[in-house]
């Protein structure tokens, strides 16, 4: 493959992924800015123009925890000054003295707004390290317990969305923040405010996108660890699998902070230790991975130095308090950048020595290194881009997969070369055939491993939704067997013979399990309701098809790999459409509905009819089949119903064998 073309591809991936994170505003003009503690939104429609970040100069009251009543009596208060949100108060000057990380304060913002009768909402990441947020007299959101000393406060990190209602054309936001447990204190992350609908949609999109990236990285980590079990001499599998696992675990502790949310009983300090250890250990493990690939280019003394420094920093994390070990992160960030630059030097040496696949590795590592630099700048408050290492890791993994594909191409070329040599030389024919068969077997095995890892990503994503619903049982296993049976039957007909290939059957077999991934976005009160849903609840439940399709589409746009998720997106969007156009979400009719969704729709209804649900008993196979036959041409595509009729006995066998 031409090297310039390879570099261009990597650069394009970088630009598209980097720029795709810069979501354009819904309105061309910028939103109003906070000035001297006042935000004027009277000419800004939060429903149509979009959400706003509450960034700017808030009223600041140091060493004071004020209430609405205190602020209303402004004449008795002494305002410290104005404070730029988001930022930490480390270095803020009061009477010529710089503040440290410890302390407590109240920040106040007056908001002028158009009168409205629909709720608003906040999206709050977290504060260092406890806060309470009030709208006028109403407590809207809080993390931990705010206090005036280490003994009276409790730290907590838990991103959340909080809804609230206001009356009139103005309201006051009061934010109490305290910190005595971390090296940095204050409202260091931006608060976003908008309509309840917009805020919740944005939060769900971010939750699903991050979840997909983390799940993909974790699965790839397990895959490489499993490969090491099979090939004990290939230590690069061990190091890369361990590195993926560390990045995935750390990603669960930052950004959306999944572990803080799902395990609120865990000690805040323990989770902080875990977060820092993942970071401190990831550097030497990645260095060991590069050294195992290019041992002749990596000086062993420098590898040992990287390992030693990382161990020393990690011991500080294990034995010190959070207030102490969080102060070491800046030094370790400098060490990380220095180590990263040395790894570039190693890769440059490998490039000069023409190592196999070096261009691809350099491109993937460049993207990963840029996201690391971005995150270091973000956590230090220098930019407001967010956590990007999971995306960088995801692109790096795909660069490794691309390199693997290149090696497969070279293997094929070697096979062809062997064929040509066989004709033009006097080498024994039998020996050449045996060598070719060995190469082909190795190639098929490598291709199968790559295909298995691809489908493992899909299964891991589908399990996110299945774990939310306690009544699904073996639903996913039955679903993919049903759709495979229908697709195989349809492939026998002349109409679909050229369209439904073996590859299509394999793709729909794996992708059909993504049909209900959008249920991750449905509230537990509705999703897990033991009785029949009301009409309003059912309207909310119907949103899962749009949520699932949008989430997969967002991931496709993000990583530019539409091919292996396209069937999953079609199925997630349209498996509730009906042949007569009475379905949802788009009311598609007839062949407007993708064939993959037509097949999945029948399989899903059959499984629902023959399964126990909180509001119904399982129907017998005969009754379920009669219902499906009766809905041919209304709910279901006639061709798909005829395929079901031909395979009716097979459906009954699958239902019995994979029953809950």
Q: What is the pLDDT of residues 44-77, one digit of tens each?
A: 999 989 999 999 999 999 999 999 888 887 666 7
Question: What confidence score (pLDDT) does residue 278 get?
Answer: 93
The pLDDT value recorded for residue 457 is 58
Residue carrying structure tokens 């106040």: 108
- Print the domain residue range for 501: 469-657
pLDDT tens column, 619-653: 999 999 999 999 999 999 999 999 999 999 999 99
- Give the per-residue pLDDT at 487: 96
In sequence order, the β-bridge partners of residue 327 are: none
pLDDT greater than 70 at residue 415: no
Distance CA 411, CA 408 (A): 5
Residue 125 is part of a domain; what is its CATH number? 2.60.120.260
The pLDDT value recorded for residue 24 is 40
Q: Are 353 and 298 in contact (CB under 8 A)?
A: no
Does the residue 364 lie in any domain? no
Average pLDDT of the chain to the nearest whole number: 84
End-to-end Cα separation, the chain, in angstroms: 51
Q: Residue 113: inside a domain, yes or no?
A: yes
Q: What is the pLDDT of residue 426?
A: 52
pLDDT at 423: 59
Distance between CA 106 and CA 65 in Å, rounded? Answer: 5
201, 220, 248 — which closes off a domain? 201
What is the predicted pLDDT for the residue at 83?
94
Residue 532, in any domain of the structure? yes
pLDDT of residue 288: 94
Answer with the one of 168, 183, 201 that is the final residue of a domain: 201
Across the chain, which distance is largest between two alpha carbons, in Å? 103
Q: Distance between CA 657 and CA 660 in Å, rounded?
A: 9
HSE of 321 in the Cβ direction (CA atoms, 13 Å)? 7
d(CA 509, CA 489) in angstroms, rounded, equals: 14
Confirm whether 631 is domain-assigned.
yes
Stretch 602-613: mean pLDDT: 91
Show the DSSP H helices in 565-647 as ranges.
566-574, 595-609, 621-630, 638-646
- Is the peptide bond prior to 86 cis by the omega test (within 30 degrees of 0)? yes
Q: How far apart are CA 352 and CA 53, in angstroms?
A: 48
> How many other C-beta atoms lie within 10 A of the C-beta of residue 287?
24
Burial class (CB in 10 A: 0-12, 13-18, 19+), 282: buried
Q: Is the pLDDT of residue 395 over 90?
A: no
pLDDT of residue 282: 92
Q: What is the pLDDT of residue 227?
A: 83
Stretch 496-517: mean pLDDT, rounded? Answer: 88
pLDDT at position 305: 95
pLDDT at 82: 94
Does residue 127 lie in a domain region?
A: yes
Per DSSP, the residues of 89-100 read -TT-EETTEE--
Per-residue pLDDT at 588: 95
Q: To which H or E segment does residue 38 belong?
A: strand 38-41
pTM equals 0.62
How far are the Cα atoms of 61, 87, 313 from residue 309, in angstroms, in the given order? 41, 30, 6
The average pLDDT across 335-349 equals: 91
pLDDT of residue 524: 75
CATH number at residue 607: 1.10.3210.10
Which among 152, 155, 131, 149 is positioned nearest to 269, based on CA atoms? Answer: 155
Between 502 and 429, the higher pLDDT residue: 502
Please say if the pLDDT value at position 134 is more than 70.
yes
Q: So what's the pLDDT on residue 18?
A: 41
Q: What is the C-alpha separation between 397 and 220, in angstroms, rounded?
A: 8
For residues 243-247, average pLDDT = 89
In a domain, 90, yes or no: yes
Select, from the ranges 26-30, 412-416, 474-478, the one with the highest average predicted confidence (pLDDT): 474-478
Query: Phi/psi of residue 81, each to 5°?
Result: 160, -155
Residue 451 has pLDDT above 60, yes or no: no
What pLDDT sits at residue 8?
A: 38
Q: According to the model, what pLDDT value does residue 38 have?
A: 96
| Residue found by looking up tokens 């195992």 in the block | 292
- Residue 46: how many CB atoms within 10 A of its CB? 22
pLDDT value at position 467?
A: 55
| Average pLDDT value for residue range 122-148 | 94
Domain stops at, among 201, 225, 249 = 201
Q: Which residue has the tokens 């079609």?
A: 570
CA-angle at 231, arms to 225 and 233, nearest 5°:
105
Q: What does the alpha-carbon distance between residue 564 and residue 342 come to, in Å, rounded to a whole number?
A: 36
Q: What pLDDT does residue 414 have?
A: 67
**What is the three-class DSSP state of 52?**
strand
| 466-504: b (≥16 Cβ within 10 Å) or e | bebbeebbbbbebbbbbbbbbbbbbbeeeebeeebeeeb
Residue 436: pLDDT band (50, 70, 90) is: low
Mean pLDDT in residue range 191-218: 88
How do beta strands 81-85 and 56-62 pair? antiparallel
CB 41 within 8 A of CB 19: no
Rounded (10°) angle between helices 389-424 and 235-251: 150
How many structural domains is the chain composed of?
2
Helices (H), 294-354: 300-319, 322-325, 329-352
Evaluate whether 209 touches 558 at the Cβ level (below 8 Å). yes
Nearest to 156 by CA among 229, 243, 261: 261
| 42 is a domain residue | yes
Neighbouring residues of 55: CB distance < 8 A, sequence distance ≥ 6: 33, 34, 85, 86, 190, 384
Among the listed residues 450, 373, 402, 391, the one whose alpha carbon sits nearest the alpha carbon of residue 248: 391
Q: Count Cα neighbours of 465 within 13 Å in the Cβ-side half-sphere.
A: 23
Q: Which residue has the higher pLDDT, 203 or 38?
A: 38
Question: Between vectors from CA 620 to CA 614 and to CA 625, what angle results, nearest 5°?
Answer: 110
Round to whole Å and give the CA distance between 298 and 303. Answer: 7
298 in any annotated domain: no
DSSP helix/strand/coil, 113: strand
The rounded percent of the chain whose pLDDT value lies above 70 is: 83
């Amino acid at each position: 493959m031409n090297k310039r073309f390879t570099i261009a591809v990597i650069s394009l991936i970088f630009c598209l992924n980097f720029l795709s994170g810069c979501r354009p505003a819904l309105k061309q003009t910028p939103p109003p800015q906070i000035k001297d503690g006042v935000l004027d939104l009277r000419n800004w429609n939060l429903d149509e123009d979009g959400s706003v970040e509450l960034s700017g100069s808030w009223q600041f009251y140091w060493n004071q925890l004020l209430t609405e009543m205190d602020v209303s009596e402004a004449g008795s208060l002494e305002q410290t000054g104005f404070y730029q949100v988001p930022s930490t108060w480390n270095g803020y000057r009061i009477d010529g003295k710089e503040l440290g990380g410890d302390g407590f304060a109240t920040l106040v913002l007056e908001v002028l707004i158009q009168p409205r009768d629909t709720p608003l909402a906040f999206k709050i990441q977290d504060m260092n390290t406890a806060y309470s947020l009030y709208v006028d007299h109403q407590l809207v959101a809080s993390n931990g317990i705010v206090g005036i000393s280490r003994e009276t406060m409790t730290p907590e990190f838990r991103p959340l969305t909080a809804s609230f209602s206001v009356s009139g054309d103005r309201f006051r936001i009061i934010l109490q923040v305290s910190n005595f447990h971390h090296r940095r204190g204050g409202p260091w992350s931006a608060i976003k405010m908008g309509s309840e609908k917009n805020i919740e949609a944005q939060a769900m999109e971010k939750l699903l996108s991050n979840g997909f990236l983390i799940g993909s990285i974790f699965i790839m980590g397990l895959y490489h660890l499993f490969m090491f079990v099979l090939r004990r001499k290939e230590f690069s599998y061990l190091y890369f699998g361990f590195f993926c696992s560390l990045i995935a675990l750390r990603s669960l502790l930052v950004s959306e902070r999944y572990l803080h949310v799902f395990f609120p009983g865990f000690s805040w300090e323990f989770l902080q230790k875990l977060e820092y250890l993942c970071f401190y250990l990831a550097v030497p493990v990645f260095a060991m991975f590069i050294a195992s690939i290019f041992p002749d280019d990596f000086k062993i003394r420098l590898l040992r130095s990287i390992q030693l420094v990382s161990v020393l920093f990690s011991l500080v994390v294990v034995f010190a308090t959070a207030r102490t070990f969080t102060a070491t992160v800046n030094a370790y960030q400098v060490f990380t950048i220095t180590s990263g630059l040395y790894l570039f030097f190693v890769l440059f040496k490998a490039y000069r020595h023409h190592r196999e696949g070096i261009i691809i590795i350099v491109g993937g590592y460049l993207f990963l290194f840029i996201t690391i630099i971005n995150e270091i700048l973000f956590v230090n408050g220098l930019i407001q881009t967010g956590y990007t290492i999971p995306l960088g890791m995801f692109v790096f993994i795909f660069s490794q997969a691309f390199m693997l594909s290149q090696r497969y191409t070279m293997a094929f070329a070697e096979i062809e070369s062997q064929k040509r040599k066989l004709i033009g030389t006097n080498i024994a024919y039998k020996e050449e055939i045996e060598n070719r068969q060995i190469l082909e077997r190795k190639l098929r095995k490598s291709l199968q491993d790559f295909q298995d890892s691809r489908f493992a990503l899909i299964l891991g994503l589908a399990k996110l939704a299945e774990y939310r619903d306690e009544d699904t049982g073996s639903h996913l296993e039955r679903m993919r067997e049903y759709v495979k049976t229908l697709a195989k039957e349809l492939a026998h007909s002349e109409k679909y013979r050229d369209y439904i290939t073996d590859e299509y059957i394999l793709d729909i077999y794996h992708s059909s399990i993504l049909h209900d991934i959008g249920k991750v976005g449905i509230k537990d009160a509705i999703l897990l309701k033991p009785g029949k849903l009301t009409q309003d609840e059912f309207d909310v439940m119907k949103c899962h098809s749009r949520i699932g399709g949008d989430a997969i589409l967002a991931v496709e746009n993000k990583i530019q790999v539409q091919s292996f998720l396209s069937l999953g997106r079609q199925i997630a969007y349209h498996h509730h459409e009906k042949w007569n156009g009475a379905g949802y979400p788009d009311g598609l009719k007839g062949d407007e509905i993708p064939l993959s969704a037509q097949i999945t729709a029948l399989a899903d209804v059959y499984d629902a009819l023959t399964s126990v649900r909180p509001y119904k008993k399982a129907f017998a196979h005969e009754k379920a089949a009669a219902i499906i036959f009766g809905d041919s041409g209304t709910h279901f595509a006639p061709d798909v119903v005829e395929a079901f009729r031909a395979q009716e006995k097979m459906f009954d066998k699958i239902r019995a064998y994979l029953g809950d």
